[in-house]
Chain A
Amino acid sequence: MRTKASTPFLLRQLIWFLLAAIVLFFTLTTRNFLSIGNFINILFNASVLGVLVIGQSFTLLTGNFDLSIESTLGLCGLLGIWFITHAGPPLYGSGWMVAPTVSIIVILFIGLGIGVINGVLITKMKVNNFVVTLAMLITIRGLTLLVNNGQTAYSVSQSYNWIGLGKLGPIPIPIVVFLLLFAFAYVVTTYTPFGRELFAIGANRNASYASGVKPETRIIQVYMISGLLAALAGWMLSARLTNAMSSMGQGSVFEVFAAAVIGGISLKGGQGSMIGALGGVLLLTTIGAGLNLMNVSVYWIQAIRGFIILIAMLIEAQKVRYSRALADPGEQKNR
């Protein structure tokens, strides 16, 4: 890391150069890309993904996965609307008519609760983190289907929908929420003992334990953060759509991983920053928006996005090799 000259700087900030290159490309190839309206649109679309990526980054920093977030998002988004609406058509809620504020608090606690279950199973019961969160992904999605028998629930409550549709002056509230959370997460991970401990655990768990860190407590805490933010993302998404399908969020964990890892968060733990993760989120969202403006067929968009993720990771892998070579020219690393 501490090597001289301009190249390492470029490597460290690679994600922003990639983002700049992508912005430049779309600016040249489409007419309306470089406008305030479009930037607000990109940030708006990035908000839910961004909140999920923050949560995931916390677990990734400690060297853990949380695959279950996409299902937590689905369950909490559906329950948030389901609690507060009439039963039967046209809204298909529970008929319980819970006050929106209470409903929101409840779903945030459900998110926290899921995080606690994940964390305890992983740390206290020693089950593999990948398997625990994979099983939770399946279980919670099943629960989501069960709650409303697969039916979509609709929300007409202003006091629920504001987080998705409201505006603070000219800026949509989801953007404010997501940027503030990134700033907060950046401060927490960079400047607090808690944040530094997460890096320590991810880099070398046994060493961190030896130096007085409590890895198990911290890991449970990061899963709680991840669950809480997934619930928040569920609220934001269902409020923006003003409805919640039981399949909401399905498949999004792939994109969350892609954004975090493109942004430089290592899957092995202990490396990366929240600012980089923000860059990853913006890169993926910008690509989506640009391809839309270019009128690329929807059938192509998915393939192209996957391809771009692959290219970004290819560059990233070469960066790691290059900086290793800089650090230790003699090293012949196989794997």
Chain B
Amino acid sequence: MRANQLRPVPVLLDNLIWFLLLLALIIFSALTNRFFTVNNVTNILVHSAVLGIMVIGQSFTLITGNFDLSAESNLGLIAVLGAFLMTASGEPSNGSGLLLNPLLALLVMFGTGLLIGAINGLLITRLKMNNFIVTLSMLIIIRGLAFLVTHGKTVTGIPASFKALGHAYAGPVPISVIVLLAAFALAFFVMRYTRFGRDLYAVGGNSDAASVSGIDSQRRIRQAYLISGAMAAFAAWIELGRLGVGATRIGENMIFEIQAAAVIGGISLFGGRGTMLGALGGVLLLSSINSGLNLLQVSGFAIDMVRGIVILGAMLIDAQKVRYTMPPRIPAGAASTTKK
């Protein structure tokens, strides 16, 4: 934060997501006295854990200017695979009967996540395929594989030691919340203070310029996909603990919410812009809105709609912010809103 940015309006614009979050908190607190309680705030944070971890992974790829649409299927496959490996065969567990040690299962889960990340990264960088299409195809393939693992059956009987991360408490605080905040802190640190992080911004800002200045863009993009894969495994671990069962549909359609949270938080879809702190704000905003609407007993069917409108509203404000901060350099009518 340079001194000349500390005028009132830019501060508000730079930290828009936190003002939106504050606004949401005030509105919901005014509408229901059950919103701003220790219990409910804890609840919001618990519900943010899986989404938040996924958003971290996605943000790494987004900052390099790449999508990882496959993340949601990745989460589903890893969750159901992990549950399958650790549980007894036949009804009611529907597991493999291997009764794999949770530590080994975790090894397989993270291995799977990294493998998928590696495949995505290699296809995109070595074979020069479009990242949107690669990860879109992987989204379809991996969801298919998730169905193959148990033929669509839900797996129960996951060992308690494995589930602890998702539902145990350290004193009054859920472990998943500590993990969420620690993960964001680490990601924030990496992105801001390490060479790796700065490289990612450079790659996303201008890949060719990054290459010229000695950064191996292609390698950085592969690494971002590896991180996204590992984060999906991490999120699957928490989700299995929270739900207690492994279902093949875990994560389905979640990618929309992941991208919405990242983008509301200020991560640009076209690379090079945004911070992990903002992304955390996006996650908390979406979770708070969900929780508030639930407490207000808004019909479950209406929640989706309201959420969509809120995202649209936030992006509308964001677009005006970009227009305000960046004076137009090209004729007004030709200002490009499209991917370049």
Identify which of B38-46, B135-143, B160-168, B239-247 touches chain A. Answer: B135-143
With a cutoff of 8 Å between Cβ atoms, the chain A residues found around residue B311 in the complex are 131, 134-135, 138
Are B207 and A334 in touch, CB under 8 angstroms?
A: yes
Identify which of B2-10, B14-22, B106-114, B315-323 touches chain A. Answer: B315-323
Q: With an 8 A cutoff between CB atoms, is A130 at the interface?
A: yes
With a cutoff of 8 Å between Cβ atoms, the chain B residues found around residue A300 in the complex are 144, 148
**A110-144 contacts to B (CB < 8 Å):** 121-123, 125-132, 134-143
**B251-297 contacts to A (CB < 8 Å):** 253, 256, 259-260, 263, 269
With A139-B309, A142-B305, A146-B305 as known contacts, state yes or no: A310 contacts B335, CB within 8 Å: no
**A35-85 contacts to B (CB < 8 Å):** 62-64
Are B211 and A334 in touch, CB under 8 angstroms?
A: yes
Taking the nearest CB of chain A, how far is it from the CB of B5, in angstroms? 22
Residue from A146, A250, A267, A317 within 8 A of B301 (CB atoms)? A146
Residue from B127, B143, B308, B322 within 8 A of A314 (CB atoms)? B127
Taking the nearest CB of chain B, how far is it from the CB of A334, in angstroms? 6
Q: With an 8 A cutoff between CB atoms, is B299 at the interface?
A: yes
How many of A's residues come within 8 Å of B, CB to CB? 64
Mask, B129-157, CB within 8 Å of A = 1, is 11011101111111111011001100000
Residue from A129, A210, A299, A302 within 8 A of B337 (CB atoms)? A129
Q: With an 8 A cutoff between CB atoms, is A303 at the interface?
A: yes
Are A206 and B330 in touch, CB under 8 angstroms?
A: yes
With a cutoff of 8 Å between Cβ atoms, the chain A residues found around residue B269 in the complex are 128, 130-131
Which residue in chain B gives the minimum CB-CB distance to A335? B207
Mask, A259-285, CB within 8 Å of B = 1, is 001000001110000000000000000
Are A122 and B337 in touch, CB under 8 angstroms?
A: yes
Are B315 and A318 in touch, CB under 8 angstroms?
A: no
Are B316 and A125 in touch, CB under 8 angstroms?
A: yes
Q: With an 8 A cutoff between CB atoms, is B302 at the interface?
A: yes
Q: How many inter-chain residue pairs (CB < 8 Å) link A and B?
A: 195
Which residue in chain B gives the minimum CB-CB distance to A301? B144
Are B315 and A250 in touch, CB under 8 angstroms?
A: no
A24 to B147, CA, bound (A): 29
Residue from A130, A138, A254, A334 within 8 A of B304 (CB atoms)? A138
Which residue in chain B gives the minimum CB-CB distance to A209? B334
Which residue in chain B gives the minimum CB-CB distance to A131? B315
With a cutoff of 8 Å between Cβ atoms, the chain B residues found around residue A216 in the complex are 333
Chain A contact residues: helix, strand, loop or mixed: helix
Residue from A303, A320, A335 within 8 A of B144 (CB atoms)? A303
With a cutoff of 8 Å between Cβ atoms, the chain B residues found around residue A129 in the complex are 337-338
Are B140 and A314 in touch, CB under 8 angstroms?
A: no
Residue from B208, B305, B323, B339 within 8 A of A139 (CB atoms)? B305
Q: With an 8 A cutoff between CB atoms, is B12 at the interface?
A: no
Q: With an 8 A cutoff between CB atoms, is A86 at the interface?
A: no
Are A306 and B141 in touch, CB under 8 angstroms?
A: yes
With a cutoff of 8 Å between Cβ atoms, the chain A residues found around residue B302 in the complex are 142, 146
Mask, A137-179, CB within 8 Å of B = 1, is 1111111011001100000000000000000000000000000
Q: With an 8 A cutoff between CB atoms, is A313 at the interface?
A: yes
With a cutoff of 8 Å between Cβ atoms, the chain B residues found around residue A142 in the complex are 301-308
Q: With an 8 A cutoff between CB atoms, is B33 at the interface?
A: no
Q: With an 8 A cutoff between CB atoms, is B217 at the interface?
A: yes
Are B312 and A139 in touch, CB under 8 angstroms?
A: yes
Are B305 and A306 in touch, CB under 8 angstroms?
A: no
Q: With an 8 A cutoff between CB atoms, is A240 at the interface?
A: no
Residue from A122, A304, A335 within 8 A of B208 (CB atoms)? A335
Taking the nearest CB of chain A, how far is it from the CB of B61, in angstroms? 15
With a cutoff of 8 Å between Cβ atoms, the chain B residues found around residue A127 in the complex are 312, 315-316, 318-319, 337
With a cutoff of 8 Å between Cβ atoms, the chain B residues found around residue A317 in the complex are 127-130
Q: With an 8 A cutoff between CB atoms, is B89 at the interface?
A: no
A128 to B143, CA, bound (A): 28
Taking the nearest CB of chain B, how far is it from the CB of A291, in angstroms? 12
A317 to B132, CA, bound (A): 13
Taking the nearest CB of chain A, how far is it from the CB of B130, in angstroms? 6
A299 to B153, CA, bound (A): 12
Please name 10 pairs of A and B residues whose Cβ atoms are closer than 8 Å in the assembled complex, sorted by A: A126-B335, A142-B302, A142-B308, A145-B305, A150-B301, A254-B140, A268-B339, A269-B339, A310-B137, A313-B130
Instruction: List 8 A-B pairs, minimum CB-CB distance, nearest first.
Output: A142-B305, A139-B308, A303-B144, A142-B304, A306-B140, A306-B141, A302-B144, A138-B308
A302-B143, A314-B123 known, 6 other contacts, Cβ within 8 Å: A135-B308, A149-B301, A302-B140, A302-B147, A317-B129, A335-B128
